[in-house]
């Protein structure tokens, strides 16, 4: 058998040997079951405690999110982390102004009815209370050295996957969050002084839940309603 090289060249670029850690089928079944059951305990939480969170945890969850696959590995994301009290309050006021308009005039009756079981409304105290607010920005394009703009690829897909990993990392760190999408979100560009290549995508409060806290009695769809198998 020929010796396995630790790297090869592809189009002149170095590709390194991938150290795949193989596990057996039983372990695979067990791990996937354990992960599914643990993910099933994740819930969107709307009432937060002001208990502080170590900054290192925030660094770690962001670096996990940034492991997401992205178009041509451009990693087209910027995570803005807000713990400043005044800035959080400014964001809350602007978000609530949009939400008041959304709940009163932009939502259809059907949409309002669909939200009734969740008990959401236009008041967003969690933006003040949670110790950290993460605003996920997508980077639509980059500037190269001579200032030419280059669009990034599959930006919506990339940012969606990174946000999913971020939510999973938050759950893994024993913290809670909620996907808040005040719309339109351009007030965040202004308040956070972001450059023109960035667009706000999602706002995630991060922290501990209020104690006690209650969540809607949601049921998740069974496998047969979410998957089709072609064998």
Which positions touch ligand IYR (CB under 6 A)? 99, 115, 118, 120, 180-182
Least distance from ligand IYR to the Cβ atom of residue 45, Å = 13
Contacts of 160 (CB under 8 A, 6+ apart): none
Q: Residue 158: which region, alpha, beta or left (left: phi > 0; alpha: psi -120 to 50)?
A: alpha
- Specify the residue, 114 or 142, whose C-beta has the smaller distance to ligand IYR: 114
CA torsion through residues 146, 148, 153, 155, sign: positive
Q: Which is nearer to ligand IYR, 152 or 204 (CB)?
A: 204
| 3-state secondary structure at position 211 | coil
Beta bridge mates, 201? none
Q: How far is the CB of 181 from ligand IYR (least distance, A)?
A: 5
Question: Phi first, then psi: what are they for 99, rounded to 5°?
Answer: -65, -35
What minimum distance in Å lies between the beta carbon of 168 and ligand IYR? Answer: 19
Return the number of the residue (166 or 178) whose C-beta is nearest ligand IYR: 178
Q: How far is the CB of 170 from ligand IYR (least distance, A)?
A: 17
15 neighbors 8 (Cβ within 8 angstroms): yes
Concatenated DSSP letters for 102-168? IIIIIS-HHHHHHHGGGT--S--THHHHSSEEEEEEEE-EEE-TT--EEE-SSHHHHHHHHHHHHHH
* Contacts of 202 by beta carbon, 8 Å cutoff, 6+ apart: 135, 136, 159, 163, 179, 180, 181
Taking the complex as a whole, how short is the minimal distance between the CB of residue 117 and ligand IYR, in angstroms? 10
Give the shortest CB-17-to-ligand IYR separation in angstroms: 44
Nearer to ligand IYR, 126 or 132 (CB): 126
Enter the tokens of residue 100: 């008041």
Q: Which is nearer to ligand IYR, 182 or 205 (CB)?
A: 182
Adjacent-strand bridge partners of 141: 151
Which residue lies nearer to ligand IYR by CB, 71 or 160? 160
Nearer residue to ligand IYR within complex by CB, 177 or 197:
177
Least distance to ligand IYR, CB of residue 221, Å: 16
Q: Which residue is nearest to ligand IYR (CB)?
A: 120
């Amino acid at each position: 058998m020929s010796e396995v090289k630790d790297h090869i060249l592809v189009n002149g670029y170095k590709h390194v040997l991938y150290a795949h850690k193989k596990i057996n089928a039983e372990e695979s079944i067990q791990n996937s079951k354990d992960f599914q059951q643990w993910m099933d305990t994740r819930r969107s939480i709307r009432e937060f405690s002001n208990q502080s969170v170590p900054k290192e945890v925030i660094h770690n969850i962001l670096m996990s999110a940034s492991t997401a696959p992205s178009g041509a590995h451009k990693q087209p994301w910027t995570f803005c982390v807000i713990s400043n009290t005044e800035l959080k309050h400014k964001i809350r006021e602007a978000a609530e102004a949009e939400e008041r308009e959304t709940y009163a005039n932009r939502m259809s009756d059907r949409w309002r009815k669909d939200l009734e079981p969740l008990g959401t409304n236009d008041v967003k105290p969690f933006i003040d209370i949670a110790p950290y607010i993460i605003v996920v920005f997508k980077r639509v394009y980059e500037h190269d050295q001579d200032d030419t703009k280059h669009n990034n690829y599959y930006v919506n897909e990339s940012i969606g996957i990174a946000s999913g990993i971020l939510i999973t990392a938050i759950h893994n760190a024993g913290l809670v969050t909620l996907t808040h999408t005040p719309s339109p979100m351009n007030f965040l560009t202004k308040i956070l002084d972001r450059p023109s290549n960035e667009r706000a995508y999602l706002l995630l409060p991060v922290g501990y839940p209020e104690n006690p806290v209650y969540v809607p009695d949601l049921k998740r769809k069974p496998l047969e309603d979410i998957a089709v198998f072609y064998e």
